[in-house]
Amino acid sequence: MDDFNTLTQTERLLLMAAAVHGLGPHTDLNYANTARVVNQALRWRGLSAEEIRGGWRDRDCDPAHAEVYDALIRMTHQMQTVGPGRAPERPGPVLFEGSGNWGVPGDPDCPACWPQYNSCHLTAEGERIALELLERHPEFRLYSAGRGVRMEQILAYLLSRLLVIGEAHGELYDTEVRERLDDAIHHGFLIPTHNYQLPEEFALYSEEANGAVKEALGDFLEAARDAASADGLSTFHQRLTAFQNLGVEVGPQRVCYNDFFGYADPKRYDEAGNVIRR
């Protein structure tokens, strides 16, 4: 059975939405608000922020909101403190797990609460499918969901790619490689330097590995410069803060920027990104 052929377009959007917001199987359900997933899918369907907010009303919601949320409810295994919980209505592997009130299937008197008041995250299988979908449709990773969010998504995508490269090429974590990565980010994004060109080599052992790193950095720099402009990150220190975001983590080990790049103390740099001489 082809995982993708059995998914509706709405289900695909929900899976990718959870992935770009970092709601993987290791995410604590206490910090995995469902509205982040549903509202992101609604954005991808063309609704504005005002339309999304206005669609959640006290007693009912707009048809577009109901369609997306109902799809997620059907996909979600409701977790309970005691017992196995409620299995999802959607046949096939479980793709989401949820906590809180997800309603009772077939009982109109026991509906799910609004997504602002429950939580969900992907299962391991859901994350696998979501990441494959994002590989096929990388444009969704770079979608701006509001000020600051797009930059976080772009950074998470870079870290995910470096994590994959590091699994095959352990030297990615060597000091010399780290220094070259730092140099690329400094001149390509933090300053950025006019007409800066990425080097061909980053001190990895093979041409293939160096090429993979260059491609990942090149994609990041292009997207990050656009995002910085859109998000109003006009100064060196603003861009440095956005890049050194410890809240952006990927993978089961919660890898962050500091696993691949060195920490730059903001106090050591002036407004132009030059090291302050003491």
Angle between helices 34-44 and 9-20 (to 10 degrees): 120
Return the closest-CA partner of residue 14 out of 165, 147, 115, 159.
115
Q: Which residues share a beta bridge with 269? A: 275
Sheet of strand 119-122, all strands in order from the earlier edge strand to the far edge: 76-78, 96-99, 119-122
For residues 55 and 37, give the distance between their C-alpha atoms in angstroms, rounded to a whole number.
15
Q: Where do the DSSP E strands lie in the chain?
A: 76-78, 96-99, 119-122
For residues 32-52, b (16+ Cβ closer than 10 Å) or e, as one string? bbbbbbbbbbbbbeebeeeeb
Question: Between β-strands 96-99 and 119-122, what pairing exists: parallel, antiparallel or unpaired?
Answer: antiparallel
At residue 253 the predicted structure's pLDDT band, cuts being 50, 70 and 90, is confident
Least confident of 79-88, 96-105, 132-141: 132-141
**pLDDT of res. 192:** 81
Segments making up each domain of the chain, as ranges: 9-135, 146-268
Q: DSSP of 201-243, one letter per residue?
A: --S-SSHHHHHHHHHHHHHHHHHHHHHHHHTT--SHHHHHHHH
For residues 118 and 240, give the distance between their C-alpha atoms in angstroms, rounded to a whole number.
34
**pLDDT of res. 1:** 37
Does this model's pTM top 0.95? My answer is no
**pLDDT of res. 89:** 93
Given a cut of 60, is residue 146 above it in pLDDT? Answer: no
**Backbone phi, then psi, for 222, in 5-degree steps?**
-65, -50
End-to-end CA distance of the chain: 65
For residues 186 and 74, give the distance between their C-alpha atoms in angstroms, rounded to a whole number.
46
Least confident of 1-10, 53-62, 198-207: 1-10
**pLDDT of res. 156:** 87
Q: Name the residue with tokens 């979608």.
A: 143
**pLDDT of res. 82:** 77
Given a cut of 50, is residue 145 above it in pLDDT? Answer: no
Return the closest-CA partner of residue 70 out of 99, 46, 41, 44.
41
For residues 157 and 152, give the distance between their C-alpha atoms in angstroms, rounded to a whole number.
9
How many Cβ atoms sit within 10 Å of the Cβ of residue 79?
18
Highest mean pLDDT among 49-63, 180-194, 244-258: 180-194
Taking phi over 0 as left and psi of -120 to 50 as alpha, with beta for the rest, 106 belongs to left
For residues 131 and 16, give the distance between their C-alpha atoms in angstroms, rounded to a whole number.
7
